[in-house]
Chains A and B, each alone.
Chain A
């Protein structure tokens, strides 16, 4: 095997509506490894890219939500199958990002994804209810996806942290616009490539790489986004984000502040935090 072979480098682009466009701004920024090695130039998403991503997410949401829970669960399981197939790439990216045990990180990310996939056809059984009202009505409560969820992924744990936000958001039928870790966006780009080659419909997950501080206000203030996961929002931006979210009464959610490798970092309540509960009444009478 010749060492002189030149590898073909990947271009890191945005992932919107199932395809990989460059930023409409034409801007990119340099991504470096933990030791300063240059790794790639990632697209620097603009507010217009974010706008397009929300349009794509909204467009894809009704169909994603109307698939059977079983179907969504299977599709998410397939994503895990493809992640497993790409583990070498993910491990290399985590290593570049400074992870001391990249294999452990990839294992945890894949297992977490599988864990959430298994909730698709169970979350209604655990969080829904039939309610014994005091009149002759059949009354039931069901969780429904809230719609389009904006996700600001954590800066650290660029794969496990990302997966821990995205999986619970989409398993119930939401679609997502994700702002990836600014410092280490490449695992998110690889996850986008996994999505694109899996059975996840285009637009269900949209991934924007770029400058977090630039994108957060646009996401938080967008009137067609139903909820925002602020787990990766820097502390100095949090208040502004919540204020902007008030304009359309966006649901604001933050993931648990625990060791991402622990079981405490995964929970069905991360799913229901991004659902709406609908209660229906129907009379009972011959």
Chain B
């Protein structure tokens, strides 16, 4: 089965509000009770996912993974190796599917495009002054256009938290709309950097803003600060996406990134997704996990599922 068929190359999203409306949207975003939200996330995390359900979840986790490397030391060689791993995570087991995408810095996009051509694994690039997103706007937008031209299928940008946390919602919105346009036909993921936003109310507001500006995905984190994806923040974003779908009919994807290292966590995110957004979102077209070391943990769990023995890391390639 071709991976490309799975990830719909649907038309990218469009903004559904004007900048003037953006402030009002933020103000009207519903309040979020932190204790209630965290309680719900914790309760869902106790779901017991075993046997065939677990195998399906692990397999879906691989198919929804954005295999990521975002280091200043990334070289061509590193990317070549990662692309091979992305296409064939377990050389000893052809039944393990490819991941959804690789996620990397703009400079390495051409290498990945070359290596992944025809494999069904897409190329996602960060752009727009990742991770702070505070460089000059024209340079940030040009970076987006450039990586799109270089062949990136998906572009991960950050919300301008300086504007957002400063209350300048219309300006933050305008930047997102401009980024949306600069990305052209590439899908746009907007990183909210939830670890910086300070409260779930703010995460809800930021989700609303990004979705209204035309994000195809909303994403939790850059993975570059101390606090990354958590179950409650993902749940908060999923509830926002649910509301947005109810109001506009459009489904926005959810990406969790940073700190997801163990299969158990990945499965918990899938439970949240399943019980909040439902079966329609259980696909790489609408759900991604940005991770690196998670992949081998999932492979080891899949192995244990089929052999009955706990696996060891020596038996899985590091790239």
Direct contact of A and B (CB under 8 A): no
Which B residues contact A (CB, under 8 angstroms)? none
Which A residues contact B (CB, under 8 angstroms)? none
